[in-house]
Structure 1
Amino acid sequence: QKSILYDERSVHKVEPITKHIGLVYSGMGPDYRVLVHRARKLAQQYYLVYQEPIPTAQLVQRVASVMQEYTQSGGVRPFGVSLLICGWNEGRPYLFQSDPSGAYFAWKATAMGKNYVNGKTFLEKRYNEDLELEDAIHTAILTLKESFEGQMTEDNIEVGICNEAGFRRLTPTEVRDYLAAIA
């Protein structure tokens, strides 16, 4: 039970890194916040050198490298998070998953966290190459619903979208509308 004094808007599971790249995690929140900060810094460093936004695959490789370094350095522990990194560049979407070891993989769609097996099975049945953004949002929410414990509301889930316009986190009102549409 959370305290009525807690401001739920102060911590997010979905974070923009650049205009076209976003992150979401499963695991330890404080570790995630450290990696969000590091990812933003890496993206800015790339921009300062090349005067263009960092490609999604480049950012994934650099963040995963940081995660891998923490598995073998003395005096530190590995990051306790798995990440999903999505981005849009070169006219198409990208989705990568990185685990605490620093290994990373490209996906068309995936699930992670508690009950991820149910989520992946659900996605495998529903996925197709020609999914429009609206349908993809509905599918993502239905996938969450497959293994969600309790009632899903705009206060306890977040949805990030990425398209030509960039990456953004849906507002609670938008999430509520999508939840109403699948009810």
Structure 2
Amino acid sequence: MSDASPAPARAADEILDLVDEHDEVVGQAPRGEVYARGLRHRCVFVLARDSSGRVFVHRRTATKLVFPSLYDMFVGGVVGAGESYDDAALREAQEELGVLGLPRPVPLFKFLYVSPGGEQSWWSYVYEVQCDLPVNPQAEEVAWHAFVPEEELTARLEEWEWVPDGRAAYERLRTHRAM
């Protein structure tokens, strides 16, 4: 998931909606405060596939504020104040993949993610999008990337260290598809 923009000072000032356990807006706060205080907010997770069905996987740079150097099978990030999940999914996918003209991501399901220690939580909407365009991820955010077959991704789940919220979203996605 993305946690930084090209201008980090601006990112900390970005205003986010604060939400309750029912995903109802209860206030607003700057992103830096939201992260520092562990306030509940909204995020999007977009699974990008190419025309062969392979999944976009990447390793975050060591300079990322949150989950540096970990792997992720989603692109995405926080939902801005007043922004819809759908709009955030398209914006984040285009920004993180470095492309324009993506089709609108397809919403799959929403869940409340709670961090392993229970100190943080955020509402997370999972999407999927087909990306047949050449990708050009931002070098300051992505250290490595590739489109990998789902079987390889599944095999790597136990070999690589994954961002915890992305891993949780992916496990829920696998359960969702099995239903």
Do they superpose with TM above 0.5?
no
Look at both structures and tell me which one has the larger radius of gyration over its CA atoms. Answer: 1
What TM-score, normalized by structure 2, do the two folds share? 0.29
Q: Which has the higher helix share?
A: 1
Q: TM-score, normalised by structure 1?
A: 0.29
